[in-house]
């Protein structure tokens, strides 16, 4: 609409004559976006989307009319934007009293949807089972994923299913959960959602088979997907999952990282005015580049079939068995094509740095770094944390976004919750006292500025945030995992690590506050359901205190033998610059020992362990499932 309508002089004249026009970057202002997306649904009874066009009353910003996309001239049953502007302006002049009278109903409806229920119930672990059943009902057994096109990756759903599978005892139900996760990951990796030449995933597929994507690549998808593929690569040994995890990590480091160490938000779908132009091929172009290698490459990547994107080919992997044995040759083919593609006009990169999205990338890189032994990923995650701490953390508060060195806008719940979660993952991969202190400082702001002290849970905005039409408090996921769900998990983890009851109580109160919303459709609250699962069956948590120069290999081997994907381990050096906070101060290296292990599950802990063999025995007695 910006190019079609806002830049046209006749339409711009109408906009300026009758309206105060405000263009909002939804990624920088998710607080506004969630309010007016809900308002659009209430007004039109249709799903929202982008672009979003809303008409508000002056002064109080209450919406009275809206829609998504409007063309410059009428077509496909939609009014032209210029005509619409004239009609809305006339309605506002002639029916202003009716618009005023409708405001209380709109305010009440927004409060009901966004304000959150006043009900607080017992935390119900049965909702996790119900969520898994709902995903099972919508699971596409043929193509992977859930529901029909357009199909989105839904990493929060896959994370829930994976953790629920790890928690269950062996059997058909557990096998089914792993099947849904792995089949979906494989289908996305083989399809065109994944960029087989450059790495990274596009935003969604326009078809059921994951063949043709909307070619935009989002940071918020790729961080969690990197974590998932790395976890399943490590657990299953899948060569495909390894390839995709490494390819996605490389794409983040090579394409999306700024010189300062943070990560950009997205790559556009378009280049040279056409969606997908950067990514698609003609047969002649590929044949000219590959020569004798064209035939096997074409068979493996779909060039031997009909064109699948506007007369050209977007690469996808053929089913298993089509040349999989010749991996090195295909890798060389891909490298050659990628080098040629790099000379094309690239899609534009949105170089604003969003705190929440960077946190998701940091967590994915930290997990990859430790599971796939990628030191460069750990270094990149560390550098991104340092950037956020120096550029986005100001006067004890977090800022949401920056560009060209200018950080601004008060941080939202997602910024704080996601970053605490990411810091904990990085601490498990590489202990740094500064990261622990940062996580504690963020948690304190969450409790003092965002908490709903009366009902539990957290508001999306702080108590001193700009006053908006509605202060939202929700528990369901959208394109991002629920901030409340992530906050509950992160605070519980930090609370158990430190023995800090305030964090544990806030986490449990968040779960209780979310039960009413989650009970309506548990699968819509995957992040919250993960926190419920961990509250009901806490994962084992291990702290290793080690003297400088101690040999950790036997201890790490014992951890590996446990084969428990829910186990969390923190290796804390014995020597620290300052006393450790909370329970960590008591977890010291015992006299005469080089290493001392402290193994806990929730609030139940074993005696301190000073031999790796004793740790192996304790882990064997502490299974993943109750």
Residue 253: φ, ψ to 5°: -75, -35
Residue matched to tokens 């410059």: 72
Residue 575 CB contacts under 8 Å (≥ 6 apart), including other chains: 547, 548
CA angle 221, 321, 311 (to 5 degrees): 60
* CA dihedral over 498, 499, 501, 504, signed as positive or negative: positive
Q: Is the peptide bond before 150 cis (omega within 30 degrees of 0)?
A: yes
Neighbours of 401 (CB within 10 A): 23
Query: Using an 8 Å Cβ cutoff, are 485 and 528 in contact?
Result: yes
Alpha-carbon torsion (405, 409, 410, 415), positive or negative: negative
The 3-state secondary structure of 586-611, one letter per residue: CCCCCCCCCEEEEEEECCEECCCECC
Question: What pLDDT is stored for residue 3 in this prediction?
Answer: 84
Tokens of residue 514, six digits? 């979310």
For residue 625, the model assigns a pLDDT of 39
- Taking every pair of Cα atoms in the chain, the longest distance, rounded to a whole number of angstroms, is 86
The stretches of 267-401 forming alpha helices (DSSP H) are 283-290, 294-301, 327-341, 355-371, 375-387
Q: Which has the closest alpha carbon to 199: 162, 134, 243, 152?
A: 243
Helices (H), 446-552: 483-498, 501-520, 526-536
* 534, 128 contact by CB (below 8 A): no
- Residue 322's pLDDT is 54
What span, in angstroms and rounded, lies between the C-alpha atoms of 111 and 106?
A: 9
Neighbour count for residue 346 (Cβ, 10 Å)? 13
Per-10-residue mean pLDDT, the chain, length 626: 90 94 93 93 86 93 92 90 94 92 92 83 92 97 94 96 90 95 97 97 96 97 98 95 97 97 97 94 97 95 94 92 70 96 97 98 97 97 98 97 95 98 97 96 98 95 93 93 98 96 97 94 97 93 89 88 83 82 92 92 90 90 50
Predicted local distance difference test score (pLDDT) of residue 459: 96
| Residue 550, pLDDT score | 85
Q: Do the Cβ atoms of 423 and 432 come closer than 8 Å?
A: no
- Opening angle at CA 132, ends 129 and 137, nearest 5: 125
Please state, in angstroms and rounded to a whole number, the distance separating the CA atoms of residues 203 and 413. 23
Which of 351, 450, 439 is CA-nearest to residue 402?
351
CA–CA dist 613, 557 (Å, integer): 10
**Angstrom distance (rounded) from CA 128 to CA 528:** 9
Rounded to 5 degrees, what are φ and ψ at 309?
Answer: -150, 95
Whole-structure pTM value: 0.94
Q: Of 523, 424, 433, whose CA–CA distance to 477 is shortest?
A: 523
Contact in structure between 612 and 562 (CB atoms under 8 Å): no
Nearest Cα to Cα of residue 346 among 267, 281, 280: 267
| Contact (Cβ atoms closer than 8 angstroms) between residue 193 and residue 209 | no
Output the CA–CA distances (angstroms, integers) from residue 503 to 109, 421, 458, 510, 543, in the order listed. Answer: 32, 13, 13, 11, 19
């Amino acid at each position: 609409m910006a190019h079609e309508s806002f830049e046209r002089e006749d339409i711009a004249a109408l906009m300026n004559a009758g309206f105060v026009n405000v263009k909002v970057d939804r990624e920088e202002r998710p607080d506004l976006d969630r309010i007016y997306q809900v308002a659009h649904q209430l007004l039109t009874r249709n799903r929202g989307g982008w672009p979003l066009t809303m008409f508000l009353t002056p002064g109080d910003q209450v919406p009275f009319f809206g829609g998504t996309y409007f063309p410059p001239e009428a077509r496909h049953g939609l009014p032209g934007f210029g005509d619409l502007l004239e009609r809305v302006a006339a309605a506002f002049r002639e029916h202003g009293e009716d618009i005023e009278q409708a405001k209380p109903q709109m305010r009440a409806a927004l409060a009901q949807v966004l304000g959150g229920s006043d009900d607080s119930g017992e935390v119900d672990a049965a909702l996790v089972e119900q969520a898994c059943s709902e995903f099972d009902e919508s699971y596409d057994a043929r193509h992977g994923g859930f529901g029909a096109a357009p199909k989105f990756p839904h990493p929060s759903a896959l994370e829930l299913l994976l953790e629920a599978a790890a928690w269950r005892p062996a059997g058909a139900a557990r096998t089914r959960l792993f099947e849904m996760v792995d089949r979906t990951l494989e289908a996305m990796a083989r399809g065109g959602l994944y960029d087989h030449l450059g790495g990274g995933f596009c935003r969604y597929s326009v078809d059921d088979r994951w063949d043709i994507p909307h070619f935009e690549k989002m940071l918020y998808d790729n961080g969690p997907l990197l974590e998932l593929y790395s976890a399943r690569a490590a657990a299953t040994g899948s060569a495909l999952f390894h390839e995709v995890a490494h390819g996605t990590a490389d794409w983040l480091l090579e394409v999306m990282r700024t010189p300062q160490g943070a990560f950009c938000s997205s790559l556009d779908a378009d280049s040279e005015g056409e969606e997908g132009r950067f990514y698609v091929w003609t047969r002649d172009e590929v044949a000219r580049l590959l020569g004798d290698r064209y035939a096997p490459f074409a068979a493996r990547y779909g060039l031997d079939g009909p064109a699948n994107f506007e007369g050209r080919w977007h690469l996808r992997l053929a089913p298993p068995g089509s040349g999989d044995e010749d991996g090195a040759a295909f890798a060389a083919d891909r490298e050659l094509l990628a080098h040629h593609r790099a000379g094309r006009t690239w899609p534009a990169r949105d170089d604003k740095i969003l705190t929440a999205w960077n946190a998701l990338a940091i967590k994915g890189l930290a997990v990859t770094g430790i599971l796939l032994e990628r030191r460069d990923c750990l270094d990149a995650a560390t550098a991104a944390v340092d950037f956020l701490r120096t550029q986005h953390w100001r006067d004890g508060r977090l800022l949401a976004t920056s560009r060209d060195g200018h950080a601004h806008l008060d941080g939202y719940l997602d910024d704080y919750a996601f970053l605490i979660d990411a810091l904990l993952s990085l601490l498990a991969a590489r202990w740094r006292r500064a990261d622990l202190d940062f996580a504690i400082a963020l948690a304190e702001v969450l409790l003092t500025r965002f908490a709903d002290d009366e009902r539990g849970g957290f508001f999306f905005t702080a108590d001193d945030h700009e006053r908006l039409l509605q202060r939202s408090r929700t528990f369901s996921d959208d394109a991002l995992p629920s901030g409340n769900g992530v906050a509950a998990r992160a605070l519980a983890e930090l609370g158990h690590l430190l023995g800090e009851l305030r964090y544990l109580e806030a986490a449990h109160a968040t779960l209780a506050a979310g039960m009413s919303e989650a009970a309506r459709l548990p699968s819509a609250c995957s992040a919250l359901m993960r926190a419920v699962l961990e509250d009901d069956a806490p994962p084992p948590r291990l702290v290793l205190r080690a003297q400088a120069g101690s040999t950790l290999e036997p201890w790490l081997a014992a951890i590996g033998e446990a084969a428990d994907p829910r186990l969390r381990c923190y290796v804390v050096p014995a020597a620290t610059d300052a006393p450790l906070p909370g329970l960590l101060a008591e977890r010291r290296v015992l006299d005469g020992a080089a290493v001392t292990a402290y193994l806990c599950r929730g609030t139940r802990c074993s005696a301190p362990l000073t031999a790796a063999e004793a740790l192996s025995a304790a882990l064997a007695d502490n299974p993943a499932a109750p």
